[in-house]
Structure 1
Amino acid sequence: MNEIFKKAMRSALYLMSLCIVFWLLVPSLKTVAAGIVVGCAASMFNAYLLQRRIELLGQTVVEQGPRRVSIGLAGRLATVLLVVMIANKVPQHLDVAATLSASFYVQIAVFLITAVTYSKHSGKG
């Protein structure tokens, strides 16, 4: 799972780099590119929070046995809400739709990378 997380984070960094290049070279796409960069940053932050929370949950279960522990959905939703509110506040700099859609990039990338990885493994069997 750690390798899949690293691949998804790396792909987000590549996307952000590509958007920065577009931001520099294509003036008409500046707000969209900036929105994608901010959304991807929020997505990476949320993915890191989720990974850390799952590791802590695993440690808690191993050390103390099964307990009811949340995985912090409210905090991750608040992060997305914050970046969308910022994009809404400064629409001349950030595109709201691009920011919102990019806020879920890493999570979608993890799903796709996992699907491709396990379909390759199941095909060998």
Structure 2
Amino acid sequence: MNTLLVLFAILGCSLGQQYRPVPSTPGQIIRILSQTQDGPNPDGSYSWSYETENGIAAREQGHLKAPETMEAQGDFKYTAPDGTPIALQYVANENGFQPSGAHLPTAPPIPDAILRSLEYNAAHPEEEQERPFRRP
């Protein structure tokens, strides 16, 4: 009997360790599994993170890059309603918000004719300066 009880206790602990995202419905309460926060610190640095039982997780850390410039780096992940896993990493600094992730759209390549035209314009700036703009 004790062996059976120990076996069920071990089985219960191992099943409890497995992570399974819980699907959510509107108005449902989702538990926070973990949450941390450090700062803001005297040097301007900070960090935070959290993870919820439905598979949402996020974290960020930031610091003063210069007296008037903050830089933050972070990421978050969740599962889209269609079941697609979404993961996004980002940096935010004086150059703005710079996200990256496999699900983000990318710009199409510049057509060859436009690329050649841009290269020509860059190589011949004097032509732009020589001709004043005239209205037709």
- TM-score when scaled to structure 1? 0.23
Report which of the two structures shows the higher radius of gyration computed on alpha carbons.
Answer: 2
- Report which of the two has the higher share of strand: 2
Structure of greater relative contact order (alpha carbons < 8 Å, 6+ residues apart)? 1
TM-score, scaled relative to structure 2: 0.22
